[in-house]
Amino acid sequence: MWAGTNNNFLDQRISSDFTRYSIVASVTFKFGGKREPVADWGATGPEARSFPSIHREAQNKFKPFKLKTLDGTQKTLADFANEATLVSFFFPTCVYCNAALPEMQKIYDKYKDKGLSMVWINVLPEENKLIPNWQAEHHLTVPVLIGASQESLQGDYRLTATPTHYLLDAKGEVLFYQDGYKTGDEKTLEMKIAETLNIAP
């Protein structure tokens, strides 16, 4: 498990996995007709671009979705509505997702009985089959949804990095947006969640 990852360890793992990961990313993630290298997807090591992790407030309405669980059950955004809902976009072989999502699991465990819902959406349909073993390996219990194309998710939710997190209020309004990952991002996100729930982090 990557929980508690520090930047040095993350950079070492990135270095060892970079070749395989970059092939996946360069083939599948396209923006404006250009192929994006893995370095543009939330990197914090020497391959990173100038903004490894972006944090900005967002004011728009989150687009509702209709997707499926791994067992084929149809779910919508309304099924996860709560005082606060965190929607995260990921894929199982994403280096930065494997650093960030175990931290999101800790937040989910801490706040799920205090008004927080959480759901993760896979952005690479070809990796759907990897999800069950990935969940078991990392001890992840947050609900996962599949069923949308990569292109539709990128267009509908302006995805430029994985993981990407949207924090929503009870009405589905976007309270906070965070993409990419560097160590410590989870603390900022937890603070925003606690503020939304009006409880101490």
Tokens of 116: 């927080």
pLDDT of 108 higher than 80:
yes
Mean per-residue pLDDT of the chain: 78
pLDDT of residue 201: 75
pLDDT in tens, 152-162: 999 999 999 99
CB atoms within 10 A of CB 51: 13
- With 0-12 / 13-18 / 19 or more C-beta atoms within 10 angstroms meaning exposed / middle / buried, residue 124 is buried
With 0.85 as the threshold, say if the pTM is over it: no
| Rounded average pLDDT over 105-117 | 97
| Rounded average pLDDT over 29-49 | 32
In one-letter notation, the amino acid at residue 143 is P
Is 53-197 a CATH 3.30.572.10 domain? no
